[in-house]
Amino acid sequence: MTTAETAPPNRATAQAPTAPPPPPPMRLRELVFGAALSAAVRAAARLGVPDALGDTPQSAEALAAKVHTEPKPLRRMLRALACYGVFAERPDGTFAHTDMSRLLREDDPNSLRAIALWCTEPWTWAAWPKLDEAVRSGRNVVEGLFGKEFFTYLNEDAPESADVFNQAMTRSSEQSAREVAALLDLSGSASVADLGGGQGHVVACLLDKYPQMHGSLLDLPRVVENALPRLREGGDLAGRAQIVPGDVREAIPVKADVYVIKNILEWDDESTARLLHNVVQAGGPGTRVIVIENLVDDTPSMRFSTAMDLLLLLNVGGAKHTTDSMVSRLTAAGLAVDTVRPVNPYLHAFECRVGA
């Protein structure tokens, strides 16, 4: 196995430090008030402040009139966000966009608005205070809080939060699918199957890149009902795509030259092992398997990935992986890992083959 060097952070959006880091006592105070910052980001997104603020700096009074808030509390919220580079307060008291605040706009091509809302949904505020309980037991806390498995709770009791989750996953998939397709060299392969592929953004991008390739999208029935129109009957890719409803943890009824598994090997170990076993059985010796995951190794996304790792512990009892823990699971399932390469600063691709 060879491991490519981790990609550096995107320098185009890097912010030069404007002041020395605070001393440890102040930094700890900032950290324990982190909920205030998360709440402010959520409030700004829900109020539509990033969308109301255009290219010209505006006063809090002008923005308040646009988003129907009181100007003084809005100024206080913007001031708090500006301390962290989400908006910028100018000497004349007006506020302007920054690279980060633009990502909260709905119309930004790289928008993270849905992700920001998903990570601050009401259930998260109930779950985070119970992290010590989850660490002590090693189990999720959502079932104890709501009496139901996490996704059952979302769909039955919190439909608005379920909608936010779907929007966040759709936007995230749209953005990363293009990068995944650009990275992967599938020339010489006639077919690809995207396992647990959601609406099919990855397989659609791969079919665009390889006009002679056929692709399959496999996911739960309620998920593939909302597959991209391009993949469904009448779509421009329908002639080369098939949509297969089912649970990939139970069976993979599709034969393909390449199987892609993206961001779904973060369940409990038993479910992960079942899926990988199914891939090996479906593909047979020599079949390519490409696993794409966030890692909690020393990568530019460590703060994000480790936080998501804790959130997975809280809601489903799952976990993000280190490079070693992912490789050990893949090899235990009968896969030989050839290379590990960064897709972007927060995703890595494990290129594997089914062993003899």
The pTM (predicted TM-score) of the whole model is 0.85
Residue 112: the pLDDT is: 96
Query: d(Cα 189, Cα 257) in Å, to the nearest integer?
Result: 6
For helices 150-157 and 159-183, the axis angle rounded to 10 degrees is 120
Residue 251: the pLDDT is: 95
Between CA 53 and CA 64, with CA 58 as vertex, the angle to 5 degrees is: 75
Sign for the pseudo-dihedral over CA of 331, 333, 334, 335: negative
Q: Strand 191-195: give its sheet, edge to edge.
A: 2-3, 335-344, 347-354, 288-293, 258-262, 191-195, 214-219, 241-245
Residue 164: the pLDDT is: 93
Query: In the chain, helix, strand, coil percent, each to 5?
Result: 45, 15, 35
The amino acid that residue 285 corresponds to is: P
Q: Which parts of the chain register pLDDT below 70?
A: 1-18
Give the start-end residues of each E strand in 200-287.
Answer: 214-219, 241-245, 258-262
